[in-house]
Amino acid sequence: MAITRKEEQRALDTDERALVEKSHHPVVQELSDKELADLLKLVRTRRDKAQAEASRRRREMRGKGSPKGAVASKADEGSRIKLDVLTMAVRRLNGEAERRRRLTAKVSLVENARAALVLKKAASADLSESAFNARTAHHGMRKNASERREDLMRPMERGRQRKAGAVAQAKRDSR
């Protein structure tokens, strides 16, 4: 279920609100890579704290854990919403980091391919300038034409006929 911005603001404190606001779409793309990594680290630590708090409250409600205050928690709805908001922020930040990583990899691949093409062209230019009477084959081996006649029957058809013959023979043998 989607969480509205109003519910986000209600569930978070001021510091967390500022962190989560930076994880939303227009702002997250303007961050530098270092800022994105730092923000991701901060939001993860906040999410882990919220996860521990929500878990502790659920244990208190079930009666398994000792209460943190004087009275055990009656509900954990606020901590659960806070955890969901922070989890979604981490997911958005991870998505942006992955998008940037893929973009960087694609740019790097293109650069490497261009560099390889330059090297290949330089190597072929060196070969053409070398002496023709070198001890290497210039054009390589050539394929000789086969003297066997071309088979006109498809292998599937041959198999079908073989199987039909086997079935017919089996019928004759069973008489």
Tell me the pLDDT tens digit for each residue of 19-73.
999 998 889 999 999 999 999 999 999 999 999 988 888 888 887 877 776 666 6
Per-residue confidence band for 79, with pLDDT thresholds at 50, 70 and 90: confident
Q: Please state, in angstroms and as integers, the Cα–Cα distance from residue 2 to each residue in 55, 84, 92, following that order.
A: 22, 10, 14
- CA dist., res. 76 & res. 58, Å (int): 7
Amino acid at residue number 53: E
pLDDT at 11 over 90: no
Question: CB 62: neighbour CB atoms within 10 A?
Answer: 9
Query: Quick one: tokens of 136?
Result: 């290497």
Dihedral sign of CA atoms 62, 66, 71, 77 in order: negative
| 78 Cβ neighbours under 8 A, 6+ residues apart | 11
Query: Quick one: tokens of 102?
Result: 């893929």
Going through the chain in order, the beta strands assigned E by DSSP cover none
| 94 Cβ neighbours under 8 A, 6+ residues apart | 40
pTM: 0.62
Dihedral sign of CA atoms 12, 37, 52, 2 in order: positive
- pLDDT tens-place string over residues 90-130: 999 999 999 999 999 999 999 999 999 999 888 777 665 55
Residue 111 DSSP SS3: helix
Residue 135 DSSP SS3: coil
Amino acid at residue number 42: L
What DSSP designation does 137 have? -
pLDDT for position 68:
75
